[in-house]
Chains A and B, each alone.
Chain A
Amino acid sequence: MSGRPGILFFLGVGLIVLFAGFPFYYAVVSSFKSGSDLFEVTYLPMFDLANYRAVFTEQPFGRNILNSVVVALAVVVLSLLLGLLAAYALARVSFRGRGLLLATILSVSMFPQVAVLTGMFEMIRAFGLYNSLPGLIVANMVLTLPFTVWVLTTFMADLPRELEEAAFVDGATPFQVVRLVFLPLMGPAMAATGLLAFIVAWNEFLFALTFTLTNDMRTVPVAIALITGATQYELPWGNIMAASVIVTAPLILLVLVFQRRIVAGLTAGAVKG
């Protein structure tokens, strides 16, 4: 607040950036090293793509990425669709039980995942969805839907009332109001929420680990966690680092590009909650 930042201040800034960025940098460096190079600590990159090739040839990693994309996109679309409709009702209409419903939704987002594991397992097997992507999509909704509804509701509550009233005066139905008035205005909020939901579904591990069985049905996090070498004590670290870089680089890019939106979504979900 006062005075110009000094040397010490920038030293602190440097330390923060180093601390935040070094592990990923080191993963990149390691991912380009193969064979015995890997077992010698170096801090500068070289460029050997052997690990990247190995990741795709030694397991169905392309398929795993596709699985993750399909699951995450389906979860995002479903969450946003259900969330937008619900958010209109929760933010714009006063009805009895609204507060209770909001509180319930918020508490679902606090559920320990493991608490629904038994019941979800039973349900997924009953519907024949074990070891399938639809099973994972259903399971992931527990994680994304509550906060999608919550964040969209807070955003929707902030929009001016006059817009909606004009449409109603012109004889629009509530569904038309949501589709024609709110949907365009909610663009930024939907982008932020959708991005958060995508990241949550992309990163989800416990359900994907428990509800899939075969290599070709696994999502990326499970695939990475289960990459094994010849023995348990000989993990192919080069491959693991290459796989890690492949799935993380797009996320980091997204975060850097949409930084402002993400922060807005995160703080709307938490600070206002």
Chain B
Amino acid sequence: MVQARIGLAKSGLAKSGLASQKVRAALWFLAPMVLALALAAGWPLGRTLYYAFTDATLSDMADHGFVGFDNFWNPEWGGLFGDAKWWRAVGNTLVFTGASVGLETVFGILIALVLNRPFRGRGLVRAAVLIPWAIPTIVSAKMWGWMLHDQFGVINDMLLGLGLIEAPIAWMANSATALGAVIAVDVWKTTPFMALLVLAALQTLPGDIYEAARIDGVSRLRVFFRITLPLIRPALMVAVIFRGLDALRAFDLMYVMAANNADTMTVSVFARQQLVDFQDVGYGSAAAALLFVLVAVMTAVVLTLGRVRMGAAR
């Protein structure tokens, strides 16, 4: 913005005419995009929030009554706040988000550190790391579902071969391992994204600090924790926040690997099950609305905190 003003002030044209022409054109250029977003995002979101306060059903959404906050809480059947299945879904979502983003961050940093070192064939390795990212989530879910198959799965075969387990494990059928398996697949799928962002941050770091540290004989571990990590922290935080918000809405992976299994059900899966399978538009919308509010509040906090830094960078 500042740049734009300086640019306008610097050149000696008949500024006011051109500037107002540009602003007018800008509004026309923005209109189609704003209209498309309003149609595809704003309106549907508003309707979802509206339906959260109704008892609509999928067969005839127009025929509904207004029930206030009953879908969220009511003394008769409880609503979401009194629904153990809902709280289980909330718990699963939080565990999934925390565990997968945490692991991705650690693995992402490790891979980025490796890729940041020059060696022969680095380009090839970097391309290989991108493969999981390029594979559609549904395909990853199926591929891993097959690898984790209780009788014919390659994972059990490997673990048996290495002597780590004595009998095949039914990964997805066992409630102790199902969520863990889903988390592992998500980590496999999204670590490349994290690694690339960290790598991009690492490549902006000045080399002379490292030279100085090397001459002073500082240990590598110390260099990492005292120099590298603090320097890449801003980029890392952005990546963690983006991934965290993304993980909170996870649907595809657990739906394809375990359908509506309660062990892996996230809030998104819960909301869709109510909405589509049980045809309960009101209750499903209420669940979706709560997820939206959670994500919206977190986004607002992040944007407000980030504004200061973004403003300084421009």
- Which A residues fall within an 8 A CB radius of B? 1-2, 5, 9-10, 12-13, 16-17, 19-21, 23-24, 26-27, 30, 38-41, 78, 81-83, 85-86, 88-90, 92-95, 98-99, 101, 103, 105-108, 110-123, 125, 138-139, 141-142, 145-146, 149, 157, 161, 165, 168-169, 173-175, 178, 199, 202-203, 205-206, 210, 220-222, 224-225, 237, 240-241, 244, 247-248, 251-252, 254-256, 259, 262-263, 266-267, 270-271, 273
Contacts and interface: CB of A to CB of B under 8 A. Distances in A.
Contacts of A13: 114, 119, 125
A27 B291 contact: no
Contacts, number: 308
B271 interface: yes
A108 B220 CA distance: 42
Interface string B128-162: 11111111111111111011010111100100000
A101 B26 CA distance: 13
A205 B252 contact: yes
Interface stretch (B15-23, B73-81, B174-182): B15-23
Given A252-B134, A254-B134, 15 more contacts: A9-B119, A81-B32, A89-B27, A103-B303, A107-B296, A107-B299, A118-B47, A119-B45, A120-B40, A142-B40, A142-B44, A145-B33, A206-B268, A255-B134, A270-B242
B95 to A, nearest CB: 17
Nearest to A254: B134
B247 to A, nearest CB: 11
The DSSP consensus for interface residues of chain B is helix
Interface in B5-48: 5, 7-8, 11, 13, 18, 21-23, 25-27, 29-30, 32-34, 36-37, 39-41, 43-48
Contact of A244 (B25, B123, B142, B281): B142
Given A92-B4, A205-B252, A256 B200 contact: no
